[in-house]
Structure 1
Amino acid sequence: MSNTRIRPDIRDFEPYVAGRSIDEIKAAYQLTSVIKLASNENPLGTSPVVQDVICKNASLAFRYAQAGNPVLRKALAEHLGIADTCIVCGNGSDEIIDLLIRVMARPGVDNVVAFDPCFSMYKVQSKLCGVAFRQAPLNRDFSFSWDGLLQIMDERTRIVFVTNPDNPSGYAAPASEILDLARRIPEQATLVVDEAYIDFSDPLETYSMLRLFENASNIVLLRTFSKLFGLAGLRLGYGIMPPDLADYLMRTRPPFSVNILAEKAGIAAINDTPFIEATRTTVLKGKEQLVRGMEACGCKVYPSQANFLLVKPPVDPARVCDALLRKGIIVRPLGSYGLDDCFRVSVGNAEENERFLHALGEVVHGS
């Protein structure tokens, strides 16, 4: 197709850069076993309880889910202690990001702001919607420069994205700081706090905005089932927001974007308390294991409230990532985030973490 049929602002579109898959690495390096520590997935996999629910409901795959997912929204409302009128479910939290931009920002007029680096979908979806995207640099230690963020806002700023805990650093700001930011942004703007990794923060009550978001009328929270609940492959997320905004998103979102198996799996997942607790315990202990091991290899490891760690190795990160791939271990290079001197590693289970540390030691020490 001639590119004259494509919108001019889309012709140089840079897509989201996904991590490499296990099958891809097996084929590329003729490996039989690969550990993936690149995509911040649940180290315990998918709950057996949820797997059972998916299997029992597989025969319903020919059915459409109920429009609006009222049963899932009610279950989430009870789980979170909020009204179901505040919840919008989507095909991953990516869909909620897209809907917020489409509903709130005028193409060619308004702008969206975020930190740099940040989750790249904010930029991807803004550009796809024809909305200007602005970024303010993080502080050198990856903490949030609130004043820097405020300086790039103006009367046409409609959405302010803050990821807390942040990706790829794992840094998290106390909820009280974020509430203060919400009170300082322009009157017409909405603060969208992406809490994809909030369940791994410790203590949770210090960082989660859940109990504070109603203290300001301009706050939206994003949540996902991809991390704590182990449902990344089913694509399920949701937003928590003022009921009037939720109503507009419900009017405009595709009616069946959340499939029927994802909905049933999500309801089962939030009720599987033993799996939730086991996941948190595995991640918190695993982070300690990884930090000790990587620091022993001479790496600088940044503090993290998420289920991953940002790492600056003592040798060339590109060489480290490539050498690890050849040993069957996938970590995340960060060139797409502008962090060429670092890589990101997800917390695995104890055996995966140990295998990674052993391989990292061999790479760093040249053996």
Structure 2
Amino acid sequence: MQPSDRVREEVRGFTPYAPGLSMEEIKEKYGLSRVIKLASNENPLGASPLVKRVLARKADTVFRYPRAGNPALTAALAARHGVPRQCVVAGNGSDEIIDLLVRVTCRPGRDNVVAFDPCFSIYVQQTRLCGVTLRQAKLGDDFAFDLGALAGACDDDTALVFLTNPDNPSGYAVPADDVLALARTIPKRALLVVDEAYAEFAEPEAVYSTMARFNETDNVVVLRTFSKLYGLAGLRLGFGVLPPDIADYLLRVRLPFSVNLLAEAAGLAALEDVDFVAASLEAVARGRTLLAEKLAALGCKVFPSQANFLMFTPPLPAADVFEGLLKRGIIARALKSYGLPHMLRVSIGNDEENDAFLAAMKDIVDSGF
């Protein structure tokens, strides 16, 4: 008997997640004293000062379990977004909500899930793990959404349709009107899952986000995360707003206490610190405009973005530019894993980080790698 005989067939072909070099590894490899990370779309201002104070105060309580279901957080989220409290499910990152949706709604070996190609890797991994077919529709020119093709990939056995809006890695977004029109065209049993990890950065958010119009249909799920705008990526916190019956089923099977006590406290504090949120949005909007203009002036093709990052095609081979940035202490995101080896993605940093990135790009374009 082979060791793999003890493992489900769906699992045997999986490979471990392969992260890039850490900041410390890059410092050591290139003899650098400082490294700037602009690869993971984190908040350029860090974490809220209020969050930091609350976490310090809560440190003595970590021996306690959190309350089941995180009622304080879900109540605050419901009030913030104007949705029924029973429709909100908190998760260990929005990844947990995605995983639960696949496991709760999809029948292995029978149902399918539909998404664009490329798409968030978690959609691919969790459907495969659950023995569910993933159907992918191609994006249009310049990464525009072909919503007709997405709807056309569905059939009566489609359980979920994933739409990331704004999209990653392009930053492309469509108005909520188009999203709701799509929701009305997919099969009756299917749920349209709108992943709005970057929706707060869209301008204006009200035009692009489906959250405020959640009650207009009965087959839409909206996902949000605290990892981007709120600067809590390391605490793993997200949530979904779902039809109440689906929310109830997710809560029945969700692992107890998956959202830890500190994450919940941080989430509540982050929602309260409106000044930090406003400063973060302003920093991203200003930095996005600056980087788009300067990269274009360096000969890059920059794709319009409604997110906190920019995707671009450099005037030199992307792999060489990526390596050249590393040598200069800048971590961007290579997009080979998305099937886009000729492109890079850069997160919007703070003013100093943006200037350092632009200086490194200019040096590469002017002087070589």
Contact 2:312 2:343 in 1 (8 A): yes
One-letter code of the match for 2:167?
D
Question: What is the root-mean-square deviation in Å for CA atoms of aligned residues?
Answer: 1.1
Shift of 1:4: 1.7
Shift of 1:16: 4.5
Identify the residue that residue 197 of structure 1 maps to in structure 2.
Answer: 198
Identify the residue that residue 170 of structure 1 maps to in structure 2.
Answer: 171
Cα distance in 2, alignment partners of residues 153 and 36 from structure 1: 39
Identify the residue that residue 71 of structure 1 maps to in structure 2.
Answer: 72
Q: State whether structure 2 residue 331 is matched by structure 1 residue 330.
A: yes
Query: What do residues 248-271 of structure 1 show as CA deviations (whole Å, max 9, x unaligned)?
Result: 001100111000000000000011
Identify the residue that residue 91 of structure 1 maps to in structure 2.
Answer: 92
Q: 1:1-367 residue pairs with structure 2 within 5 A?
A: 2-367=3-368
Shift of 1:15: 4.6
Q: Which moved more, 1:179-188 or 1:208-217?
A: 208-217
Secondary structure of 1:3's match? Answer: helix
Contact 1:287 1:307 in 2 (8 A): yes
Cα distance in 1, alignment partners of residues 22 and 93 from structure 2: 19
Cα distance in 1, alignment partners of residues 21 and 123 from structure 2: 21
One-letter code of the match for 2:57?
K
Contact 1:157 1:188 in 2 (8 A): yes
One-letter code of the match for 2:56?
C
Cα distance in 1, alignment partners of residues 243 and 16 from structure 2: 31
- What TM-score do you get using the length of structure 2 for normalisation? 0.97
CA distance 1:196–1:19, change in 2 (3 Å)? farther
Contact 1:93 1:239 in 2 (8 A): yes
Shift of 1:30: 2.8
Contact 2:287 2:349 in 1 (8 A): yes
Shift of 1:209: 0.3
Secondary structure of 2:62's match? Answer: helix
Secondary structure of 2:321's match? Answer: helix
The unaligned stretches of length 5 or more in structure 1 are none
Query: What do residues 171-229 of structure 1 show as CA deviations (whole Å, max 9, x unaligned)?
Result: 00000000000000011100000000000000111101012221110000000000000
- What TM-score do you get using the length of structure 1 for normalisation? 0.98
Secondary structure of 2:346's match? Answer: strand
Shift of 1:153: 1.1
CA distance 1:332–1:13, change in 2 (3 Å)? same
Shift of 1:83: 1.6
Shift of 1:118: 1.0
Percent identity at matched positions? 56
